[in-house]
Structures are given as C-alpha cells and as structure tokens.
Structure 1
Amino acid sequence: MDGLLNGFNYVLGLGPTVIIPIAIFLIAMIFGVKPAKAFKSAITIGIGFVGVNLVVGLLSSELGTAAQQMVDRFGFQLTVIDVGWPAAASAAFASPVAPLMIVLILAVNLIMLVFNWTRILNIDIWNFHHFIAAAALAYIGTGNLWVSCFVGLVMEVYVLWFSDKFAPLIQEFYGLEGVALTTGSSVAYATIGMPIAWLISKIPGLNKVEISPDTIQEKFGIFGEPMIMGLIIGIVLGLLAGYDPGMAFKLGVSLAAVLLLMPRMVKILMEGLIPISEAAQEFAQRKWGDREIFIGLDAALAIGHPANISAGLILVPITLFIAVILPGNKMLPFGDLATIPFYVAYVSASRKGNILHTVLAGTLMMAIGLYIATNFAPAHTELLAGLDSVKGLGSQMSSFDTGGNILKWLAYYLAEFLNNLF
C-alpha cells in the first residue's frame, strides 16, 4: 500500500498536464483509436490543460491577493481560518485511507460503467481527493477503516449519479460535448444551490428579471462584453481591497484576461477530446448497444463562461460581508474565495446564465457553507495536523472546499452513525 501511495503521489505531482494526456491516450487505445490519432489528441488535451491551468493560476493569484487585502483592510475578526482546497487535498492524499480509496474509487467507477449505472468514465484523477477526504475525515471521527471507505464511496456514487443526470445541461450550456463535470465540491454546492435557484426563479417579480451576459451586452453595448465585464468587476474588487487606481486597473485587466482566454483554452482542449468522445460512443454502441459514455473532467472547464465567472467574482465581497454578519459563523473566508466560480458552475447553467439568480442562490449557498465549515472545523483541523504549509495559521482551520462541503459533512456523520450501529 505504501508503494502504491508513493507511486500515485508521484504521478499526482506531475499535475493534470501529464496525468490527463496519459489517461486519455490509454483510454483512446482501449476505444480503438489509431495510435497516431490517440497521441495527437492526448497532447492537444494536455496543451489545453496547460492553458486552463495558467488562466486558473492567474485568477487564483490575483484574486487571492485582493481577497487578503480586503480581509486586512476591514479587520475581520473570526477565529477559524479558511486554508483553501490545496491544503485539504494534500492532507487527504497523505491520510491512512488514501491507498485503499484510490483502488476502490477506480473499481467503483468501472463497475458502475459496466453495469450501466453511470455513463461517466471519470478520468479527473486529481479530484479523487474529494472522495478520499470524505473517507479521511470519517476515519478521524470513527477510527473504522471500512466504514470510512464506505462513506467515501457513497459520496463518489452520488457525484457520478448527479454529474450523469445533469451532464446534458452542462454540455448544452458550456458547449462541452461528451463531458461531465465530476468535481466533488461543485456537485456539493450544486446540491444546495440548484433547488434554491429554482425557488428564486419562482418568486414573483424576480422571475421576470433577466440579467445575463447577452442582455447586458444588448443594453450596454461594449460594457456587456465578457472581457469588459471582467475589467469592471476587477476594478471594483481592487478598490474594495484598498488598491490605488493603477493597481485596481491591473486587477481588472487580469480578470478581463481570464474571461477572454479561458474559453479559448477550453476550445483547444475540446479539439483534442472530441475524437476520443466519438470513439467512446462507438465503443459503447458496439459493446452495449444504444449507450453513451461521458468523460468526467474538472469543473475548471466551466469557469470561463462570462455568466459563471461574473457571478463567482461578485460573490467574493458578498461572502466576506456575510461571514461577518452571520450569527454563529466563525470561519474567515480566504483560501477558497477564488474557487467560488467552481461552486456556482452547475447553478449558473441551471439558470441559463441569469447572473442575478445565480448570485442570490450563491449568497445562500455560501452562508450555508460557512455554517458547515464552522461546525466541521475541529475534524478539519485534525485532518491538517502535520502539514507544514498550514503551521501558524491558527488553532482552528477549515475551508469551503472540504469544511463547507455538505457531502463530506454528511459522510462524516453517516460514518459515526454506522460505526455506532455496528
């Protein structure tokens, strides 16, 4: 198991730009794609992920700095620190349950695919950390390896079911043919946010308000174009962070670049993925008749849509504000603020890009996430024990990605219930 974990961690350390092309090449060969075409598609997808990661890195670094400045400027006093998803992911892969969970996650997906319980082949290996974290937290609470692994796999099955059910919605709205978004945090927040957004869309008055990139562009011309929207939102966030006009404009240009470049990077990735997706459909029809296969990938592919990222960026200062005024909340948002566009990916698609409905639903989502993260802080802090990257950040640590994740929170208490039951 130690050898498996070390090998897996080495591969993970190479990043998605290596992992995904290798996985795509092997899958393409299984589906009967000629080696030369499979290799070209795999490398094209790798290049696409290089571009996606560069743009996501730009968003995270620029927005993360601005968020820190907002926190410092307004002097928020909250005792639980949001350390962000990277720390939680690292702790998950270093946990005792990780080696066994890696094998079980792959096996469960293949079994579900063979028996037609899902149409998704999840190759988003890096995001296995969500299922492993659910099991690792349960293991902290119960000390029972098998119960902990069971609840982690329950989360995987739910994520695959949810992603499968809403794959057509995602494919149509984001233009991601043959793709399902299997990121655990995106599905968790969608589980809360999509019903809330649906209810908001039924409120008299609000149900007639349509604020989308298309309607904004129609009414405001150039100011409704995605990159100009990014520029304006970035400048406003910079001013809220206390930047001088020059630095605020710099942040605006960076966020404008994200909105302009991300769709182009995704387009490159999709050029490589389409031949594999077509081969997968042909393979499924040969083996199982009239069936489809979707490729499970990271929700990063969705954040470049102007409606999604606009809603996500608007929610950054809103999340900071509600964190201060919510009675009983103890978590200071910080590390995961830049990932809010991931959390609203499904919600934005379900509301057909209506930014107002997405922001309103997102506000309630983040409020619920804050309460869950506060409740989950003791277990989350124990999960992070021993990580050098979080030493000195505070006595209590949590995050939106793991601590505020309702699926991991439910898995934790389900494990406690099962452990006491048996």
Structure 2
Amino acid sequence: MSVVMSVFQFFIDAGPTVMLPVIITVIGMIFGLKINRAFKSGLTLGIGFAGIKLILDYMTTNVGPAAKAMVERTGVSLDALDVGWGSIAAITWASPIIAILIFSILLVNIILLVLKMTHTLDVDIWNYHHMAIVGVMVYFVTKNIFLGVGASIIMAVITFKLSDWSQPLVEDFFGIPGVSLPTVSALSSLVIAWPLNWLLDKIPFFRNSKFTIKDAQKYLGFFGDSMIMGGVIGIAIGALAGFDIKEVLKLGVSMSAVLVLIPKMTSLFMEGLMPISDAAQKWSQEKFKGRKLFIGLDAAVVVGNPDVITTALIIIPLTIATALVLPGNRVLPFADLAVVPFRVAMVVALTRGNLLKNIVIGLAVTASLLWCGTATAPVLTAIAKEVGINLGASSMLISSFAATAMIQSYLVFLAFTYKPLISIPILLVVFAASWYYFDFYKKVNHEIEEQNQSAN
C-alpha cells in the first residue's frame, strides 16, 4: 500500500500535465484501447491543459488590472472574472481525485442501466467534468473524499434522470430520435425553465405571443461572432477603466484573442477524449444488447439550431446588462458568453421557440448563474491555484457559467458542504418527489388520457 501511495503521490507532485496523460491512458486501456492510442489520447489532453493554462494566465494578467480599475472608477464590484467552462474543465481534470470520480460516475450509469432506472447510456466521457467538478469542490472544502465522491454520484443520478425526462424534447423539437443530452450545462436550465414555463403559460400575453425568431434575426449577425464580441467587451472594459486609447485597443485585441484561442485549446481536450468515448460506447452496447437505450451525446449536436442561436444572441447582451445591475452579483461575464447557446438550447425546445418566453426564462437562468457563480467563486479560485494556475498579482477571483454556477450543481454542492446531515436528506427528498412525478405520475396521467380518447 505504501508503494502504491508513493507512486500516486509522485504523479500528484508532478502536476496535472503529467498526471492527466497517465489517468487517460489507464481509462482508455480499461475500455479496450491499445496502449499507443490510449497514450496519445492522454498526451493530447495534457497538451490541451497546458494551452488553457497559458491562455488563462494571459487573460487574468490583461483583464485583472483593467477590471480592478473599472471597479474603482465606476463602483461596480465585478471582481470575479468568468474564465470559461474550458478553463474549469481543465481545473477539474487536473484534480488528484478525478480518476475516482470518473469511474464512480461511469459505474453509477451502468448500475442504473442494469436496474432499468435510466435509459440514458452516457458515452460523452468529456462532459463528465460537469458532474466531477462538484465532487472536486466538495472534497476541497470538506477534505472528505467520501463526501466528494457522494456529491458526484448524486450529480450523476440527477443528470441521467434529467436526460431521460428531457429526451422527448430532443426528439420532438430537434428531430433527433434515440438520443438524450446528459450535458449538465444544457440540462441545468430546465430546473428553472420547467416551473417558469408552466407559470408563463398561465399568462395570455406570453402564451399567445407571435413574435418569432425571424423577426429578431434581421437585427443580429455581425455582433454574434465571438471574435467581435471579445473585442467589444475588451474595449468597453478598457474605456470604463479609464485607459488611454492605445491601452483600450490592446485590451480589445487581447480579449478577441482569448475568445478565439480558448475554444481551440478546448478542442484538444475533446480530440483526446473522442477515442475514449468511442471505446466506451462500443463496450456499453456489447454489455446491454436488446435494451431500449438513449445514446447520451454532447449538447453541441443541438446548439446550431437557428432558434437556439438567435435566442442566444439576444440573451448575450442582456446577460452583460444583468450582471451590472443584479444585486449581490460579482461575476464579470466574459469567456462563457460564447456558450450561452448551451444554456438556452433546452429552453427553446421546451417553449417550442416562443421567443418572449425564451428571453424571460433565459434571463432567469442567467441570474441564477451569476448568483451561484458569485457564491462559489472563492472556492473555485482556491482550487485553480492549488492545481498550479498562476492568477497573477491581481486580486481577481475566477468564476464561470459552468461548475457550481449551474443551479442543480450549486444545490448539490451546498447540500454536501453546509450541514450535510440536514441538507443531504432534504435534497434527496426533493429529488425523489421529482422522480416520482416524472416517472410515475405523468405516466399514469398519459395512460388516463389515452383511455379517455379511446372511450370518445
């Protein structure tokens, strides 16, 4: 045991750029990949992490002083910089307990499939980081690995059931049968959208709205490009900070560069994990032949929908405005503005493209992201420093629209860190009630409706 622990400690001390390739190589070989392909996948992830680390250092070095000056000049206290989901994913995969969390999530998926308690086969290994980060943050706060693993397991169960319940939306609205979307960043919006959509349906103004996506599209276009978006935000921050014109323009170009480069580095993560996902899918299909399964894919398969893109382009500037006026918010939206389509995709499907409802629900989701992101920014910043990310000399915190800024992730994090003996049972009761409603009550109602139609 001492030998095993010393080897484990060696890789922890070597840092994430060494540990990541080792972990991914082992996972790939378990799913049947040859060692050369598994190692190449792991090395690609290590390179992606190194790239994101460099960009994150560059971004905080440039934005940190400007944001601090902006706060001093305007009195707007937005001192938690949104560094983007890709940076948060890199921090998650660099955690020393990531291997335990990934295998726990996979095992939970297999157990639920065996027990026929889910139909979702989540082969999107890359997006396991959304579930794992909650465990990482719980472990960091509590120093209790059992609570950390437990938090990720609860996140996994919630995610797979939300995937089951929302699968009809994916099939009916987006026209993709047999697929569910166990991507927490997309599903999280439904936790707010389901009850709010029900409420808005009671108001004729929203229920009968005829304002369409096509009506809005003619006002958008040029400013939807992430490169332009980064430049505009950088120039605005520089101007509010009181910089001279040369420094303002430099900041604008720097922010454009960040929004272009982060997705490119993040794509290395996805490239590295693709062979692992493919191998996991083949392994799972061999083990669960003859079962009705929804293949769990990345929500990227639906965010290109025109209704989704148009809604996102409307929500993005409103998100920035909301951040400036929302009481208690400290998050400065930036890098994750580019992935707002993920946050609104399932909202659009739920409302069937009702644009006014999309905007109202989208802003409610945005407010929750800002508040929850503010609450957990100090923990996220401390973890980033622990895995070796240099945040510069500025006092900026980091946040994101991912991690525990998402509502169900935040609630699970809160339950496992704040009086867990009380909070965890409450969380489980609420989720059990939701499970009963969706899996049993709605099924019974559907059968009753079918019987009444047959009788008529």
Normalising by structure 2, we get a TM-score of 0.63
Corresponding position of 1:9: 20
Offset of residue 91 of structure 1 = 1.4
1: distance between equivalents of 2:389 and 2:397? 14
Report the CA distance shift for 1:103/1:210 in structure 2 as closer, same or farther (over 3 A): same
> 1:111 — aligned with what?
111
In structure 2, give the amino acid aligned to 1:396: L
Q: Note closer, same or farther for the CA distance 1:403–1:161 as it changes in structure 2 (3 Å cut).
A: closer
Equivalence map 1:76-225=2 (5 Å): 77-213=77-213, 216=214
- Paired residues, number: 342
Where do 1:333-412 residues align within 5 Å? 333-387=333-387, 389=389, 391-392=391-392, 394-412=395-413
Is the contact made by 1:230 and 1:310 (CA closer than 8 Å) also made in structure 2?
no
| Compared CA separation, residues 144 and 12, structure 1 to 2 (3 A) | closer
SS in 2 for 1:164: helix
Q: Residue 101 and residue 282 in structure 1: after superposition, are their counterparts in 2 closer, same or farther (change >3 A)? A: closer
Q: What residue in structure 2 maps to residue 303 of structure 1?
A: 303
Residues 12 and 229 of structure 1, relative CA distance in 2, 3 Å threshold: farther
1:164-210 alpha-carbon deviations (Å, 9 max, x no partner): 11112112211222111111121122212332233223323121113
Write the distance in 2 (CA, Å) between the matches of 1:93 and 1:231: 35
* Distance verdict in 2 for CA 1:193–1:281, change over 3 Å: farther
Secondary structure of 2:405 counterpart: coil
Offset at 1:238? 9.1
Report the residue type matching 2:175 in the other structure. Answer: G
The one-character-per-residue Cα deviations of 1:360-400 (angstroms, maximum 9, x if unpaired) are 11011101211111111121112212455552264322111
Contact 1:138–1:416, Cα closer than 8 Å, also in 2:
yes
Aligned equivalents of 2:307, 2:23: Cα separation in 1: 31
Q: What secondary structure does 1:166 align onto? A: helix
- Contact 1:233/1:314 (8 A) holds in 2: no
- Does the residue aligned with 2:335 lie in a helix, a strand or coil? coil
Change (3 A) 1:389 1:313: farther
- Distance of 2:230 and 2:136 partners within structure 1: 38
Equivalent in the alignment of 1:414: 415
Other structure's SS at 2:295 match: strand
In structure 2, what is the Cα distance between the partners aligned to 1:381 and 1:239? 25
Shift of 1:401: 0.8
**8 Å Cα contact 2:80-2:331 kept in structure 1:** yes
Name the TM-score, length of structure 1 as normaliser.
0.68
Of 399-408 and 387-396, more deviation after overlay is shown by: 387-396
Q: Higher Cα Rg: structure 1 or 2? A: 2
CA distance in 1, matches of 2:420, 2:190: 29
The verdict on how the C-alpha distance between 1:180 and 1:390 changes in structure 2, with shifts beyond 3 A counting, is farther
Q: Secondary structure at the match of 1:344?
A: helix
Q: What's the secondary structure of 1:397's corresponding residue? A: strand
CA distance in 2, matches of 1:413, 1:282: 36
Deviations 1:107-130 (A, max 9, x none): 110111111111111011011111
- Could you tell me whether the CA contact under 8 Å between 1:381 and 1:398 is conserved in 2? yes
The one-character-per-residue Cα deviations of 1:3-47 (angstroms, maximum 9, x if unpaired) are 999899339989xxxx9xx98x99xxxxxxxxxxxxxxxxxxxxx
CA distance, structure 1, for counterparts of residue 188 and residue 23 of structure 2: 23
| Shift, 1:73, TM fit | 10
Q: Distance in 2 between matches of 1:282 and 1:99?
A: 22
What is the percent sequence identity of the aligned residues?
31
Structure 1 CA distance for aligned equivalents of residues 388 and 145 of structure 2: 25
Separation (CA, whole Å) in 1 of partners of 2:20 and 2:194: 34
- Give the gaps of 5 or more residues in structure 1: 27-63, 252-272, 286-290
Give the whole-Å Cα distance in 1 for the aligned partners of 2:231 and 2:136: 40
Structure 2 gap segments, 5+ residues each: 34-58, 237-248, 257-277, 425-456
Q: For residues 91 and 233 of structure 1, what CA distance do their matches in structure 2 show?
A: 28
Distance 1:11 1:316 in 2: 38
Give the Cα separation in 1 of the matches to 2:230 and 2:100. Answer: 45
- Give the whole-Å Cα distance in 2 for the aligned partners of 1:283 and 1:355: 40
